């Protein structure tokens, strides 16, 4: 592993000198957690001029990266990894202590999760704590630690700072810097989001830390940097972004249910409503998944409870979104009644395992809950298709990449993910592939047209009326 050419005290440099040293390749960055955030982030720092050490506990992933191969599918990212590995400017390792010792900046992107449930919300900050302890073992005077993982407000100050100071014997702001800067990316456009799409949110524990993180990220982010008043404010901001979307989706889901009950099409209503510039209704759907939106409300609610506050709107919205797979399963049961097919005899095809279209990520996918709901209702012949995901240990049903095989012989076809592949389907084509005399299609993402429905097809969407030919 390449060592830092010279010791640099980042806290003592002014902003222009920090920028110069980054652009000239004098700064080494270690990134802890080489996932969907860590790898694109490594690419952004490389393109800004840094040398980068990637750290991950997965040996296979480390070996793959050191061959110049990329384990995630993101635009431009594989090319960047290959280029900078060949130049000797990027290396991956499982040795986090050595990476800390040989870098000036340490960035933490490991995942943070929780056990859901309003009565007992338990944060799982174990990966973060492990990364902090590892970094502490190699921490030097003048170094900088930046946390980019989504965490409950107060984590940088109350969790990270004590671990780093206690383990290293060094003092924050005097000997090393500590900052929080949340990632703001969407899968499928991660590198673009880091470099071009949004301003970078930053905040340091104190003025020295803030100066360093502000200066360095101003080189990376073309939209500039927004400096928050405290790390807790920056942590709060990140969660607020996600909660806004979760609440908006819940509103769309609730209104869509009423539109369906009134035999209206919420798609039409939403389009007209959003022509008003102060309205931005989101899309309804079969559920909200991913490692962010389903988690953030619980992070915030736990912190709120410590202050004697209950986030009623936030948690009501979360409950509405969590119940959408059950709502879809009820539509399946109604469809089977109209088909005259018993649940025990029915085959149900679910199209989409990823939580969002055109990405290979099934973390907290609504499809998982939908499968469980259908099984609880006595439907045992369930097959799931996804064009991008090859394996999913959390999915309690067979998973296939063969679309025709999954649809063939199915009585009910449920679209759970808005992959582009499914948008090219038609109701006529689905019925043809199924080979059944009569079928039902539950459009959980409202991506199909139903104005020319073929004979012996039953159709319904989220917030759309039943259409029976």
* Catalytic residue numbers, as ranges: 238, 292
Place of tokens 């912190």: 303
Q: How far apart are CA 194 and CA 45, in angstroms?
A: 10
Rg (CA), the chain: 25
SS3 assignment for the chain? CCCCCCCCCHHHCCHHHHHHHHHCCCCEEEEECCCCCHHHHHHHHHHHCCEEEEECCCHHHHHHHHCCCCCCCCCCHHHHHHHHHHCCCEEEECCHHHHHHCCCEEEECCCCEEECCCCCCEEECHHHHHHHHHHHHHCCCCCEEEECCCCCCCHHHHHHHHHHHHHHCCCECCCEEEEECCCCCCCCCHHHHHHHHCCEEEEECCHHHHHHHHHHHHHHCCCCEEECCCHHHHHHHHHHHHHHHHHHHHHHHHHHHHHHHCCCCHHHHHHHHCCCCCCCCCCCCCCCCCCCCCCHHHHHHHHHHHCCCCCHHHHHHHHHHHCHHHHHHHHHHHHHHHHCCCHHHCEEEEECCCCCCCCCCCCCCHHHHHHHHHHHCCCCEEEEECCCCCCCCCCCCCEECCHHHHHCCCCEEEECCCCHHHHCCCHHHHHHHHCCCCEEEEECCCCCCCCCCCCCEEEEECCCCCEEC
Give the separation between CA 151 and CA 160, rounded to whole angstroms: 11
Q: Which residue has the tokens 């029976």?
A: 468
Is the separation of the CB atoms in 321 and 250 below 8 Å? Answer: yes
């Amino acid at each position: 592993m390449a060592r830092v050419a010279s010791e640099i005290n980042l806290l003592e440099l002014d902003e222009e000198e920090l920028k110069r040293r980054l652009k000239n390749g004098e700064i080494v960055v270690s990134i802890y957690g080489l996932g969907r955030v860590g790898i694109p982030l490594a690419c952004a720092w490389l393109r800004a001029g840094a040398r980068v050490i990637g750290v991950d506990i997965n040996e296979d992933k480390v070996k793959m990266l050191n061959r110049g191969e990329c384990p995630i599918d993101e635009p431009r990212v594989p090319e960047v990894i290959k280029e900078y590995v060949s130049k000797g400017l990027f290396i991956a390792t499982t040795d986090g202590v050595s990476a800390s010792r040989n870098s000036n900046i340490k960035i933490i992107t490991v995942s943070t999760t929780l056990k859901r449930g309003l009565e007992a919300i338990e944060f799982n900050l174990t990966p973060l704590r492990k990364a902090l302890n590892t970094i502490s073992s190699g921490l030097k005077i003048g170094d900088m630690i930046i946390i980019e993982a989504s965490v409950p407000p107060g984590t940088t100050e109350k969790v990270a700072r004590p671990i780093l100071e206690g383990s290293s014997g060094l003092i924050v702001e005097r000997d090393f810097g500590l900052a929080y800067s949340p990632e703001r990316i969407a899968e499928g456009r991660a590198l673009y989001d880091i470099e071009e799409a949004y301003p970078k949110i930053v905040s340091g524990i104190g003025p020295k830390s803030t100066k360093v993180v502000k200066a360095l990220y101003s080189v990376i982010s073309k939209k500039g940097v927004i400096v928050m008043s405290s790390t807790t404010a920056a942590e709060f901001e990140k969660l607020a972004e996600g909660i806004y979307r979760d609440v908006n989706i819940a509103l769309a889901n609730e209104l869509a249910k009423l539109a369906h009950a009134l035999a209206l099409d919420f798609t039409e209503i939403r389009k007209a409503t959003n022509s008003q510039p102060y309205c931005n209704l989101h899309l309804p759907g079969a559920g909200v998944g991913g490692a962010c939106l389903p988690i953030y409300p619980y992070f915030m609610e736990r912190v709120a409870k410590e202050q004697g506050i209950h986030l009623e709107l936030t948690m009501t919205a979360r409950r509405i979104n969590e119940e959408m797979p059950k709502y879809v399963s009820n539509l399946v049961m109604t469809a089977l009644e109209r088909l005259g097919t018993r649940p025990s005899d029915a085959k149900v095809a679910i199209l989409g395992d990823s939580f969002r279209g055109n990405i290979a990520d099934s973390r907290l996918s609504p499809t998982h809950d939908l499968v469980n709901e259908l099984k609880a209702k006595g439907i045992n012949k369930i097959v799931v298709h996804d064009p991008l995901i090859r394996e999913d240990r959390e999915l309690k049903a067979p998973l296939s990449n063969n679309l025709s095989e999954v649809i063939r012989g199915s009585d009910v076809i449920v679209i759970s993910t808005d992959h582009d592949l499914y948008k090219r389907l038609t109701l006529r084509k689905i019925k043809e592939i199924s080979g059944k005399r009569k079928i039902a299609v539950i459009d959980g993402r409202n991506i199909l047209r139903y104005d020319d429905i073929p004979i012996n097809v039953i159709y319904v969407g989220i917030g759309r009326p039943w259409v029976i030919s």
